[in-house]
Amino acid sequence: MGWNSDKFSQLESTITAYVSGKRRPIDVPYIRFRYDPSVELRCIREFSDLADRLRVQGVAVEVISLSEWFVNILKELGFLEEAFLRREKDQRAEIAEDLTRELTKRVANRLEEHLMKREVSYCAILLRLGSLFPFVHISNVLSSVETSVRCTLVIPYPGSRDGEMLDYHGETIRSYYRGEVIE
């Protein structure tokens, strides 16, 4: 699959149209952009460059690293402490269940707190979504924040096709139905 420059140009045009008010979202200004997991580093670079280009155009934009949020949340939950790490091996199933519940809730809460006062003219790019998988599915996070986060939210995610993040053993992941998908 590789990197698709045409698709990325379409994404940039869509973002620009939303933040400038030339295009009104029907529901929520969320844009999902699927890319091949093998080009993760290029994706990070391309989105960082995109943020710089948007800033030059006068757009208020930020890039949020979800992998950094993940590590911070694990620290807050005590999951990186020595005592926890020693007993983790014996409680993996229970810990995975706890992580799935808590990470989704905490990521959604952070997004709400961080972005709830922003309007559609503000753009937030959520990078490193794959670092949260399989504990957090973006559809669950977006469902949680859709009534409070109204800014233009760009969600690049690694996957084989829409709804199958990282092609997780062929398991179909529920896809968030609102917003827009750039394929």
- For the stretch 120-165, pLDDT in tens is 999 999 999 888 888 888 888 888 998 899 999 999 988 865 444 4
**Predicted confidence (pLDDT) at residue 51 exceeds the cutoff of 50:** yes
Q: By three-state DSSP, how is residue 44 classified? A: helix
Mean pLDDT computed over every residue of the chain:
87
pLDDT at 169 over 50: no
- Cα separation, 30 vs 139, in Å, equals 11
Question: What H or E segment, with its residue span, contains residue 127?
Answer: strand 122-127
Rounded Cα gap, residues 74 and 95, in angstroms = 11
Decide: 30 and 151 in contact? Cβ < 8 Å. Answer: no
What is the C-alpha to C-alpha distance for residues 126 and 154, in angstroms, rounded to an integer? Answer: 6
Sorted by sequence, the CB contacts under 8 Å of residue 135 that are 6+ apart come out as: 96, 99, 100, 103, 104
Sequence-distant (6+) residues with CB within 8 A of 23 are 14, 17
Judge whether residue 71 has pLDDT over 50: yes
* pLDDT on residue 175: 55
- CATH class entry, domain 5-182: alpha beta
pLDDT band at 27 (very low <50, low <70, confident <90, very high): confident
Tell whether the torsion through CA atoms of 180, 43, 3 and 136 is positive or negative: negative
Question: Which of 31-45, 126-140, 165-179 shows the lowest per-residue confidence on average (mean pLDDT)?
Answer: 165-179
pTM score, two decimals? Answer: 0.86
Residues 22-40 have a mean pLDDT of: 88
For residue 170, is pLDDT > 70?
no
d(CA 108, CA 55) in angstroms, rounded, equals: 26
Tokens of 26: 């029907």
For residue 168, pLDDT beyond 50? no
